[in-house]
Every structure is written in structure tokens, then in C-alpha cells.
Structure 1
Amino acid sequence: MTAEPNLFQPPPPEPVPQPEPVSQPARRSRKPLFVVLGAAAATVLAVVLIIVFTTAGPSSVHGTLSLLCDLKCTKAAADGYDGYSDLGNGSQVTLVDETGQVVATTELRRSPGEETKIVDGAWVRTFTFTFTDVPSADRYGVHVGNNNRGTLWKSADETERDGFSLTIGG
């Protein structure tokens, strides 16, 4: 028996046209962006470090104060005598910047057991002082004792290189 074609069978569906695949835009690598941003960050960091290290003032400033006394000033006398009673162990020392603003304070100190020495016929008492965490400035001034005493000024370079060496009396 031969099969007769089924005339009532619907014709096969026509193929539905498929859209052509859309090509994705080429994805750019982010590597060049990271390289550029990294280089920019490194440049900014380098500039900041150069500014900090070339403008930073000394982090500490050292100094001495030599108090010259006449014969009235003996080894047994107090640190300050006559017109120098404001100069002794523990007296305040002030460091100012070029505008006169106080940037650090400390105290005069004598080494324990240090004796007053006779130099060229004068008694000499030597005190030391150190300012720590000193901010940057163009120049510094140091003041010790009462308000009648002046301020000794030095450039930042001189201050960093030599510190302060004060002599009072004589």
C-alpha cells in the first residue's frame, strides 16, 4: 500500500529569518588607563616628597647659653645672680619663626654635677637647650630670660647647621 499524501496537512512553516549576529564592539584593555593613572599618582607623590624634603626645617634645634659672671658669682651661688636671676636651670627658652610666632619652647639645663668654670678670669656657667619637632621657617629667633632681653635671629640654614650659641654677661 502506498501512502497517499495527506492533502490536509499544513505546509511546513517557512523558516523565520534570523537576525544577523551583531558583533560586540572590541573591548578595550584597561591596562593603558591604569598605567597612565599610576604614572600620574607617582608623579604627584614625587612632587610632594620633593616639596616636603626641600622646605622642611630642622626637626630639632640645639643651643648653649654661657653666663659670664664676675668674682661675686661663685661656684656655690645660685645659677642666676644679680641682674641674671632670670637665667638658671629650668628657665624658659622660646623659639620663634620669622613672623615672631612662637613655634617651640624648652628650658635651660645644666648637666648634673657640672661645675662653673673660670675662663679668662670670669666664671662661666654653661646651659644647654634643645627644641624638638620644630616646624619649617625661613629664619628663627631664640629668646631666653625676661622680657628685657632681646631675640637672636638666624637663617634656617644657620640654625640647622650651627644651632644657637648665646653669651650673656662679662
Structure 2
Amino acid sequence: MVALSAVLLLAAGGIGFGLGRATGPDAARSNGFTVTGSMTVSDCRSRGYNDIHAGAQVEVTNQANDVLGVGVLESDKGYCKFKFSVSGVPSGEKLYGVTTGNSNRGVIWKTEQQARTEGFHLTLGD
């Protein structure tokens, strides 16, 4: 009986340990890094830039165009200056792209090292 109890206790402990481990896509996010950056628009009052505003979505993607993380533009020291931060971006991709605003803005690409150390500092306009 004692041996059976010990086996059941070890099995239950093993199950509990297995459930607590991070695996799959969520594991990559918990071990990921934070992508930071800024967006400056020369004249954000212009009708051509009305998609760039506080609250606009910022996407971090890989070269397969999979979305790795999402953040938003936040006002930063002025009407036409914004900052962003996207946490939990998984490491190990060959390239990281950042895009914001409408689809014709394009994607700015950097290596993981550049994304980690430099961030993305984007400018629109003159």
C-alpha cells in the first residue's frame, strides 16, 4: 500500500510539473524581447497622414508576414511625435518588420540584433 501511494504521489507530481512548464508558442513569448521605437510625422495635420495617430496599431512581423506582436502608438512630446513598445516578441527570426498606419506605408525590416539594440525610429514626410 505504501509503495502504491508513493507511485501515485510521484505520478501526480510529474503531471503537475508538466502542466507548469511553458511550451509551444506561449513559451517563445515569455522568453521574447521588447521592440521599441518612435514615429515622427513632419505634418500630421496633413490629410495624407490621418492614419498615423495616438492609438494606431503597430505590428511586428517576421519575413513570412506572421504577426509576432502588436502595440499602439502613444503621444510623445508633441502633436506629430509618437512612441511604441511591443513586448513578448519571440526571438530567433531572421528578420523583424514593423508597420503602422494603412497598408501602403510598407514594412521596415531589421535583424534581431538591430531590433533589440536600435529599435525602430520611423519618419514620414519631409
**Structure 1 and Structure 2 fold alike (TM over 0.5):** yes
CA distance in 1, matches of 2:104, 2:123: 15
Find the counterpart in structure 2 of residue 115 from structure 1.
78
1:120-148 CA-to-partner distances (Å, cap 9, x unmatched) read xxxxx210000001101221000110011
Q: CA deviation at 1:58?
A: 5.3
Q: CA deviation at 1:62?
A: 0.3
Find the counterpart in structure 1 of residue 51 from structure 2.
86
**Identity score, percent:** 32
- Partner SS for 1:158: helix
Find the counterpart in structure 1 of residue 82 from structure 2.
127
Find the counterpart in structure 2 of residue 36 from structure 1.
none
Tell me the TM-score normalised to structure 2 length: 0.70
Find the counterpart in structure 1 of residue 118 from structure 2.
162
Aligned Cα root-mean-square deviation (Å):
1.9
Higher helix share: 2
The structure with more radius of gyration: 1
Number of equivalent positions: 96
Matches within 5 A, 1:130-145: 130-136=85-91, 137-145=93-101
Q: CA deviation at 1:80?
A: 4.9
1:9-56 CA-to-partner distances (Å, cap 9, x unmatched) read xxxxxxxxxxxxxxxxxxxxxxxxxxxxxxxxxxxxxxxxxxxxxxxx
Matches within 5 A, 1:4-153: 59-69=33-43, 80-111=45-76, 114-116=77-79, 125-136=80-91, 137-153=93-109
Which segments of 5 or more consecutive residues in structure 1 lack a partner in the other structure?
Answer: 1-56, 70-78, 117-124
1:60/1:130 contact within 8 Å kept: yes
The one-letter amino acid of 1:167's match is T
Which segments of 5 or more consecutive residues in structure 2 lack a partner in the other structure?
Answer: 1-30
1:46-93 CA-to-partner distances (Å, cap 9, x unmatched) read xxxxxxxxxxx8510100001112xxxxxxxxx553100100000011
CA distance in 1, matches of 2:37, 2:53: 15
Higher strand share: 2
Q: 1:84 to 1:101 in 2, by over 3 A?
A: same
CA distance in 1, matches of 2:109, 2:71: 17
Q: 1:92 to 1:164 in 2, by over 3 A?
A: same
Tell me the TM-score normalised to structure 1 length: 0.52
CA distance in 2, matches of 1:129, 1:62: 6
Q: CA deviation at 1:99?
A: 1.5
- Partner SS for 1:148: helix
